[in-house]
Amino acid sequence: MCGRIAQYRGIHDFVAVLSMPGALVNTVGDQPLDRYNVAPTTMAALLHQAEDGPHADLIRWGWRPHWAKDRASPVNARVEKVAHGPFFRAIWPHRAICPIDGWFEWVDEGEPKKQPYFIRRKDGAPCLCAAIGQLPDADEVHSEHDGFVIITADARGGMVDIHDRRPVVLAPELAREWLDPAAPKERAELMLMHQCEPSEAFEWFKVDRAVGNSRNQGAHLIKRMEP
């Protein structure tokens, strides 16, 4: 997963798919997000549970522990290591969902510049990506240390031709369970390893190379290129 996502629906559209119980504490706003080209280290909409119920917040995409000052903040975490490696140990218990409309990958097709592809669900539903992070709680203000990472797994099927990694996308009922603080850590790891949505649930197609510049925005960036 190269690290570029799209979040253009409104947060309530994402929450409706999740059917999250309880009143939403929403600091994102009610209007469509209209972000077709979200880059790492920028703010992205994130759903998580706090003591006072479900939250929708804008959180920095990327996180690193305080002791890893000699490296850039990763934006993704490999499912094979996230639950047991030391790097993400502090935030492994803090689960979240990054709801996206799709993500981008770049493929070397022999041209001077790599060809971008947009990947989304075939059924048009949002992609509910498993994430973990350092997140604000009910009685806390946002901190400069807040951040999150999207968990990734090996790509399978035809998606391997686009990239060897993909975000772990969960079905709505599993996403709700992932967000539940009462769900045991062992159960959370099982969901990541064995119950993510299959590659057959997605479609991918070429899009304009303008998406390579993160300053570019607009629906034209996810428009399918004609052959």
Q: Is 172 helix (H, G, I), strand (E, B) or coil?
A: helix
Q: Cβ contacts of residue 141 below 8 Å, gap of 6+?
A: none
Q: Cβ contacts of residue 33 below 8 Å, gap of 6+?
A: 7, 8, 9, 10, 11, 45
Tokens representing residue 84 in the block = 């047991």
Q: What are phi and psi of 210, to 5 degrees?
A: -60, -20
Q: Cβ contacts of residue 115 below 8 Å, gap of 6+?
A: 106, 107, 108, 109, 206, 209
| CA distance linking residue 168 with residue 201, whole number of Å | 12
* Beta carbons within 10 angstroms of residue 184's beta carbon: 9
Active-site annotation, residues: 2, 105
Tokens representing residue 186 in the block = 């062992």
DSSP class per residue in 40-96: TTSEEEEEEEETTEEEEEEEEB----TT-TTSPPPSEEETTTTTTSSTTTTTTT-EE
